[in-house]
Amino acid sequence: MSMNGVCRDVREFLRGLARELPEIFPAPRPVYRRYAPARRRRAALSAAERGQAKEIIRARVEHWAGLMNLQYNRICVKDQRTLWGSCSGKKNLNFNCRLAAAPPEALDYVVIHELCHLREMNHSKRFWALVRGTCPDYAARRKWLRNNAALLWNPVTLNAAAAPQAPAGYSYTLPQN
């Protein structure tokens, strides 16, 4: 008999004793658990939507890489659960396809963030200075992504008028080299 089977038999035996002898085995105290809402299932993206997302993200990467004079190896767009983007040591850029539904300003922040990793492969002060040099209000965009991430997990409308809107007043500057 396996250990799980033995444990199950012991639990059943103790439950039977508790029913027969309630004065010896008092009812268990209630267990209070912190409320955690049930995780909703993400809406799956069709191949067409993933392809459209890849084109939107690729266009923004090409735009910003050209302006920042940076070279990258490959762009990969995935439906990740926890990351908006990443940059590998081989200069491969990975992005979450859900970013295509974000306001262009939020998408541009993630693209700029990952492109800056091509120069600084960490989150040091020098890295954040590079991000700030290209996108001075990166903190507002980063905050928008944190506060509105759940909106991007719903059925996706790719960069359309129905997409969640970021606050007005975004502008970008390029670092002076």
Query: Which residue in 68, 63, 67, 120 sits closest to 91, CA to CA?
Result: 120
Q: Does domain 47-153 have CATH number 2.60.210.10?
A: no
Predicted pLDDT of residue 152 = 81
Higher local confidence (pLDDT), 154 or 12: 12
Backbone angles phi, psi at 136, to 5 degrees: -60, -30
Q: What is the dihedral of CA 114, 118, 119, 122, to 10 degrees?
A: 60
Predicted pLDDT of residue 176 = 46
- How far apart CA 79 and CA 72 sit, in angstroms, is 21
Predicted pLDDT of residue 174 = 43
Give percent of the chain above pLDDT 70.
77
Among 27-41, 62-76, 130-144, which stretch is predicted with the lowest mean pLDDT? 27-41
The domains of the chain are located at 47-153
